[in-house]
Amino acid sequence: MSRAITLATARRVLNQLRRDPRTIALLLVVPALLLSLLRWLLTNQRANFDHIGAPVLAIFPFVAMFVVTSVATLRERTTGTLERLLTMPLNKLDLLFGYSLAFGAVAVVQVGVCAALALGPLGLQIAGAGWLLFVVGVLDALLGMALGLFLSAFARTEFQAVQFMPAIVFPQLLLCGLLTPRSSMDAALRAVSDVLPLTYAIDAMQRVTRSSGFNHQIGIDLLVVCATAVAALILGAITLRRRTA
Amino acid sequence: MKYTEAVRLRGLRVVRGGREILHSVDVSVAAGTITGLLGPSGSGKTTLLRCLVGVQVIASGTVEVLGTPAGDPTLRRRVGYVTQAPSVYLDLSVRENLQYFAAVLRAPASDIDTVIAEVGLGPYASDVVNRLSGGQQARVSLATALLGAPELLVLDEPTVGLDPVLRRDLWTLFGQLAASGVTLIISSHVMEEAGHCQQLVLLRDGAILACDTPDALRRQTGADDMDEVFLRLIEAT
């Protein structure tokens, strides 16, 4: 592992993103617009907005990071730059941590914009602290990023990578406990829900919504989210092969 | 230098998808020389080069590069590799690409301007790569391989699509590099480029047709033009 190479990779990824202002705008503006739309939709149902605002705030960055990173890493594979890097003295984790740093920085800005908008102009009321909403949101975005990095290994084209979004993300959205409480799910579905990482990401947001302060339940949720993200990165490193057929 | 043979292949076989791509290939390349790997499209040139840089799974045989088994981590800084399709970041500038790869190779920052000048991209250093022509993009990819003063350069069709002046300039550069002790292995399907090489490896259908100096091959076949040499060698087998 080399800190210099990790940082150089992060800088390179951010430079590439800088050349693509439309993607930056989409990453920053779309979640904010969707949150505003939700607030408008629930104009006469303030309690509902307060109830689902924080979990929804976590979902947008999660999904956006998943798609952007899976396409970015797939592009690295298909353009041959990945093969070139793997012939160089670069540890695979240098590359993945570099990506994580760069997209983590994007997630910080993205979640920051969303949280400021939700808690400010949109008037979202939560029992927990605003900073906790922000931290959980960023960690959830990093989870989406790590899953995207890992799963891009199984896509051969950008079409396939984009289709992983409905295939991987939608089931987690349905089963995470946002549409229907987990307690009222069929036992089998609940068991599936128990092993899906987004469940814990959303649970953390629901706890921030309901309870003030940091409790150990949120701690466990965030531990699961972080552990899954790290595991996905390590599995992602294993899928990068220096020698291919 | 602890090696006299920069490359030593013995009984190299590569099988891909049940089909044998390289059939027991033996090649030796002397250090500090230019070797041309010539052969028609589909003859196995790229596969052979991939074996040298250690990215190809091989079925059997040995591949030694700079006195070390190919793919050894210590070789990653000593071997430069240019793939046929330019493998650089299209959405970065020429300089940004080189800055990144120099950081990965831990090459000195001064290398960046040197290699940009060597491939003649000085006026385009700040241009984003996807706005450059195909030949210019290929030269960005070549410049990347020159970073960090590698001892062996493995170049897959580096001169395709370049105008004659640029081709001449690049062959002059390759000659200078060889004179300074760098070993170059350059694949091409353009037989006229053979004249720039000290050694030629003619590959056809995954087997070595001939491996000698251009003059020796001309004498052996009595042909002057490399295309004709190739034809006569095929007819003789």
Closest chain A residue to the Cα of B54, Cα to Cα? A243
State the average pLDDT over residues A106-132. 92
Q: How far apart are CA B194 and CA B173, in angstroms?
A: 16
Burial of B2 (0-12, 13-18, 19+ CB in 10 A): exposed
Selected residue of B56, B87, B111, B140 to mutate for chain A interface (largest A Cβ count, 10 A): B87
Give the relative orientation of helices A197-210 and A130-151 as an angle to the nearest 10 degrees: 170
Task: Band the pLDDT of B70: cuts 50, 70, 90.
Answer: very high
CB-based contact (8 Å) between A174 and chain B? Answer: no
- Reported confidence tier of residue B46, pLDDT bands at 50, 70, 90: very high
| Closest residue in B to A4 (Cα–Cα) | B103
Helical packing angle, A46-78 and A197-210, nearest 10°? 150
The answer to whether residue B211 sits within a structural domain is: yes
Task: Identify whether the C-beta of residue A124 lies closer than 8 Å to the C-beta of residue A54.
Answer: yes
Domain annotation covers residue B25: yes
Mean pLDDT of chain A: 91
From the CA of B200, how many Å to the nearest CA of chain A?
25
A15 interface with B at CB cutoff 8 Å: yes
Q: Do B89 and A12 touch (CB under 8 A)?
A: yes
| Cβ pair A20:B73 closer than 8 A | no
The angle that helices A216-239 and A92-119 make with each other, rounded to 10 degrees, is 140
Whether residue B142 is contained in a domain is answered as no
Instruction: Say which of A19, A80, A90 has its CB closest to residue B87.
Output: A80
Residue B219: how many other CB atoms lie within 10 Å: 12
For residue A80, the chain B residues in CB contact (below 8 A) are 83, 85-87
| Chain A contact set for B92 (CB, 8 A) | 12, 15-16, 19
Compute the distance between CA of residue B231 and CA of residue B237 in angstroms, rounded to an integer.
10
Contact between A102 and A13 (Cβ < 8 Å): yes
Rounded to whole angstroms, how far apart are CA atoms A144 and A38?
22
Q: What is the pLDDT of residues A18-61, one digit of tens each?
A: 999 998 988 899 999 999 999 999 999 988 999 899 999 999 88
**DSSP states of A156-203 as a string?**
SSHHHHHHHIIIIIHHHHHHSSSSS-GGGS-HHHHHHHHH-HHHHHHH
**Residue B197 and residue B174: Cα distance in Å, rounded?**
10
For chains A and B, CB pairs below 8 A equal 79
The reported pLDDT for the residue numbered B40 is 86
Structure token pair of residue B90: 């299209």
Contact A12 B56 (CB under 8 A): no
Total of domains in chain B: 1
**Structure tokens belonging to residue A239:** 């899928």
Whole-number percent of chain B with pLDDT over 70: 99
Q: Which residues of A touch B73 (CB under 8 A)?
A: 89
Flag if B55 and A243 touch (Cβ within 8 Å). yes
Confidence of residue B49 (pLDDT cuts 50, 70, 90): very high
Is pLDDT at B20 greater than 80 in this prediction?
A: yes
Q: Is A62 helix (H, G, I), strand (E, B) or coil?
A: helix
Considering the domain boundaries, does residue B32 fall inside one?
Answer: yes
Helix locations, chain B, DSSP H: 45-52, 94-105, 110-118, 134-146, 164-179, 214-221, 226-236
pLDDT band at A240 (very low <50, low <70, confident <90, very high): confident
**pLDDT of the residue at B2:** 64
Helix (H) or strand (E) holding B88: none
CB contact under 8 A, A16 and B92: yes
| Predicted ipTM beyond 0.90 | no
The distance of B90 to chain A (nearest Cα, Å) reads 9
- Between positions 113 and 132 of B, the ones with CB within 8 A of A are 128
Q: Who among B16, B90, B100 is closest to A8 (CB)?
A: B100
CATH number for B45: 3.40.50.300
Question: pLDDT at position B1, please?
Answer: 52
Question: Are B55 and A87 in contact (CB < 8 Å)?
Answer: yes
B181-198 pLDDT per residue, tens: 999 999 987 777 888 899
Contacts of A245 in chain B (CB under 8 A): 16-17, 56-57
Question: Does residue B234 fall inside a structural domain?
Answer: yes
- Minimum-distance CB partner of B55 among A16, A89, A244: A244
Distance CA B82, CA B39 (A): 18
Residues ≥6 apart with Cβ < 8 Å to B92? A12, A15, A16, A19, B100, B128, B129
User: Residue B233's domain spans which residues?
Assistant: 1-70+185-237
Contacts of A193 (CB under 8 A, 6+ apart): A175, A176, A177, A182, A185, A199
